[in-house]
Amino acid sequence: MIDVIIAGGGPTGMMLAGELRLHGLNVVVLERDAEPTKVVRALGLHVRSIEVMDQRGIVDRFLELGEQHPIGGFFAGITKPAIALDTTHPYVLGIRQPVIDRLLTEHAAEAGADIRRGSTLTGFVQDDDGVTVELADGTSLRSRYLVGCDGGRSTVRKLAGIDFPGEPSRVETLLGEMELGVPWEEVAPQMLKIRETQKRFGIGPIGGTASYRVIVPAADVAEDRATQPTFDEFKSELRRVAGTDFGVHSPQWLSRFGDATRQASRYRAGRVFLAGDAAHIHPPTGGQGLNLGVQDAFNLGWKLAAAVRGWAPEGLLDTYEAERHPTAEDVLNNTRAQIELMKVEPGPQSVRRLFSELMDFEEVNRYLVEKIVAISVRYDFGSENDLVGRRMRDVALKQSRLYSLMHAGRGILLDQTGSLSVGAWSDRVDHVVDVSEELDVAAVLLRPDGHVAWVGDDQEGLEKELARWFG
């Protein structure tokens, strides 16, 4: 029997496949599209996602192909000076989604995941022992668990009977890559002038090519949003907003997106789970969507592995929804707010100016930046210690650095006293005796996703948390 079937081979699905393979699970990824998409929806990775790649030893692949940009405060496109962040990766990594997809797919394949392109899930039936998945070609597969990473129109979510409440799109934006018929030196000042009030408009060069990424508001929301816009429609909207279509020609691809905001009422139905856009959709403001999905997978992977391996404590799988649902809810909230601040009417523009003034206070700017780059996420573990529930940054140790010890996806007890023990949990938790000038607690217990489960120097308290998280 297959351990886990993943429906959807985007960044969320491939990240999850890689995580599951770390623990030796038999994983099959079903991807409907026979070839990778050329559409570039996401343009980069935020701090927490970069840290995730670092924790698994693959960050260099992304750094080699990406460009580091300072984080200067980009809530609703309001630019502020860069601020110092509590991370060894204090930047946005500019890297196009097809490249992210390829690197995560290569990682999953190298780890041993069975990736099946051109394979579409059409149905499933679950029982107490597993899930039987039906495919479009008439065949079926049997697995212990099924995870829907199949996007905002998720088949898995619909078949599982999970509600997807929220709001439909009220505005629509067209996006594409094409060449310009006017020199960039003439286009740039016009574009910047329009962007003084219309933040949903933009044109930018694509390094190493003759093409430009063009984004323009649509006058109306299309009835069938699954259909890509025509090039004539694109040029018409450019003329409406900018007064010219800039002589655009030779489109590489065209797409549309709206501001629909929805979240699954639950992330689990028996042996079926949802992650990424299948669990939540929202406007792309702040570039949080792909990152949120990758972080969903990072949270779920080790928990599913624990269940399959038989050591998951009672309720561990339920912590996935308990932790990630509020996290996504917060993202939906901040993207709604950003969309309001980007409207061109006098009221939203007034609030935008007020927000800009408030963001001149470093504390406000930092609060909003840390929210978007996801390093302020804290799961509620019921502890009064502020460190517990948060992700641990990559602290320097005397003998190494923390993230270099996390590549295998196991728990870690970082013990600065040398007097503690992981005892019977040594098959799933590494005991690291080392010291760090950056850590002012005696010891920390980290889950495989890098979140702090316990701090202290008491063996009895440690064992209680080992049992809670590692069975």
Residue 455 lies in a domain: yes
Average pLDDT value for residue range 183-208: 91
What percent of the chain clears pLDDT 90, i.e. is strictly above it?
87
Average pLDDT value for residue range 281-305: 95
The position carrying tokens 């599982």 is 160
Tell me, yes or no, whether 7 and 135 share the same domain.
yes
Compute the CA torsion angle 379, 383, 386, 389 (nearest 10 deg): -30
Model confidence band, residue 285 (pLDDT cutoffs 50, 70, 90): confident
Average pLDDT value for residue range 18-42: 92
The domain in which residue 196 lies consists of 172-258
Q: Note the pLDDT of residue 222.
A: 84
Q: Where are the alpha helices (DSSP H) in 23-166?
A: 47-55, 59-65, 97-111, 155-159
Residue 303 lies in a domain: yes
What lies within 8 Å, CB to CB, of 219 at 6+ separation is 237, 240
User: Does residue 260 carry a pLDDT above 90?
Assistant: yes
Q: Note the pLDDT of residue 25.
A: 98
pLDDT tens-digit readout, 337-362: 999 998 889 999 999 999 999 999 99
Tell me, yes or no, whether 181 and 284 share the same domain.
no
Would you tell me the crossing angle of helices 289-309 and 11-22 to the nearest 10 degrees? 30
Residue 277 lies in a domain: yes
Distance CA 268, CA 278 (A): 12
Distance CA 182, CA 442 (A): 63
What lies within 8 Å, CB to CB, of 439 at 6+ separation is 395, 414, 416
Average pLDDT value for residue range 53-58: 98
Tell me, yes or no, whether 151 and 275 share the same domain.
yes
Burial of 354 (0-12, 13-18, 19+ CB in 10 A): exposed
User: Does residue 191 carry a pLDDT above 90?
Assistant: yes
pLDDT tens-digit readout, 409-425: 999 999 999 999 999 99
Closest CA to 33 of 112, 100, 115: 115
Residue 237 lies in a domain: yes
Cα–Cα distances in angstroms (integers) from residue 1 to residues 25, 74, 301, in the given order: 11, 47, 18
Tell me, yes or no, whether 8 and 65 share the same domain.
yes
Element (H, E) at 303: helix 289-309
Tell me, yes or no, whether 26 and 142 share the same domain.
yes
Average pLDDT value for residue range 237-256: 95
Tell me, yes or no, whether 223 and 293 share the same domain.
no
Q: Note the pLDDT of residue 286.
A: 87
Average pLDDT, the chain: 95
User: Does residue 46 carry a pLDDT above 80?
Assistant: yes
Inter-residue contact 267 to 321 (CB < 8 Å): yes
Q: Note the pLDDT of residue 63.
A: 98
Cα–Cα distances in angstroms (integers) from residue 275 to residues 231, 291, 301, 425, in the given order: 33, 12, 11, 29
User: Does residue 223 carry a pLDDT above 80?
Assistant: no
Model confidence band, residue 87 (pLDDT cutoffs 50, 70, 90): very high
Element (H, E) at 193: helix 184-194
Residue 443 lies in a domain: yes
Domain count, the chain: 3
Residue 394 lies in a domain: no
Burial of 114 (0-12, 13-18, 19+ CB in 10 A): middle
Average pLDDT value for residue range 84-93: 95
Burial of 32 (0-12, 13-18, 19+ CB in 10 A): middle
Inter-residue contact 48 to 373 (CB < 8 Å): yes
Tell me, yes or no, whether 177 and 40 share the same domain.
no
Tell me, yes or no, whether 138 and 279 share the same domain.
yes
User: Does residue 73 carry a pLDDT above 80?
Assistant: no
Least confident of 10-24, 60-74, 384-398, 412-426: 60-74
pLDDT tens-digit readout, 131-166: 999 999 999 999 999 999 999 999 999 999 999 999
Tell me, yes or no, whether 125 and 251 share the same domain.
no
Q: Note the pLDDT of residue 228.
A: 87
Average pLDDT value for residue range 310-318: 97
Tell me, yes or no, whether 291 and 314 share the same domain.
yes
Distance CA 8, CA 133 (A): 13
Please name the amino acid found at residue 428: R
User: Does residue 226 carry a pLDDT above 80?
Assistant: no
The position carrying tokens 């996007």 is 151
User: Does residue 218 carry a pLDDT above 70?
Assistant: yes
Q: Note the pLDDT of residue 310.
A: 97
pLDDT tens-digit readout, 347-404: 999 999 999 999 999 999 999 999 999 999 999 999 999 999 999 999 999 999 999 9
- Given CA atoms 276, 355, 237, 179 in this order, what sign does their dihedral have? negative
What percent of the chain clears pLDDT 70, i.e. is strictly above it?
100
Measured from the Cβ of residue 130, the count of other Cβ atoms closer than 10 Å reads 18
